Amino acid sequence: MIHERIRALRKPLGLSQTEFGKKLGVTRSVILNIELKKVSPKDIFIEHICNVFHVNKEWLLHGTGEIFSSRALEHKSSNELLKLFHSLQPEFQGYVLQQINSLLSLQSDTDA
């Protein structure tokens, strides 16, 4: 049921009810009431959960498929790449950008 899947979603995200609600713009009590099956989430709230956390809507509604959509994996990879890039010293950042541009140039040559 959806209330169980919302609770299950918080676990891999490592979020408390308060933190989860804050990211969605609602209070802990809203999340608590949903998880306790006291209220059913509205369609717009379900959409919001899917957009904010990159959740597969079919999983959230019916329990089918993967929890996270492919967008979540892309988002995670992008964030990891940016984090690594920003941890480099400025001169190495410049070198990385040059290498990426060289790779893009090579790629466009092979695509032609």
3-state secondary structure of 99: helix
Residues contacting residue 9 through CB under 8 Å, at least 6 positions apart = 49, 53, 55, 60, 67
Measured CA distances, 28 to 2, 6, 32, 57 (Å): 17, 13, 6, 22
Query: Domains in the chain: how many in total?
Result: 2
Q: Would you say residue 73 has pLDDT above 60?
A: no
Question: Minimal CA–CA distance to 23: which of 57, 50, 4, 56?
Answer: 50
Range of the domain at 15: 2-68
Do 10 and 50 reside in the same domain of the chain? Answer: yes
Please state at what angle helix 43-53 crosses helix 17-24, rounded to 10 degrees.
100
**Per-residue model confidence (pLDDT) at position 83:** 82
Do 80 and 35 reside in the same domain of the chain? Answer: no
- For 1-21, write each residue's pLDDT tens digit: 999 999 999 988 889 999 999
CA distance 4 to 27: 18
- Structural contact between residues 93 and 85, judged by C-beta atoms closer than 8 angstroms: yes
Do 100 and 53 reside in the same domain of the chain? Answer: no
Do 55 and 89 reside in the same domain of the chain? Answer: no
Do 18 and 61 reside in the same domain of the chain? Answer: yes
- Structural contact between residues 56 and 68, judged by C-beta atoms closer than 8 angstroms: yes
Place of tokens 């941890």: 87
pLDDT band at 57 (very low <50, low <70, confident <90, very high): very high
Do 39 and 9 reside in the same domain of the chain? Answer: yes
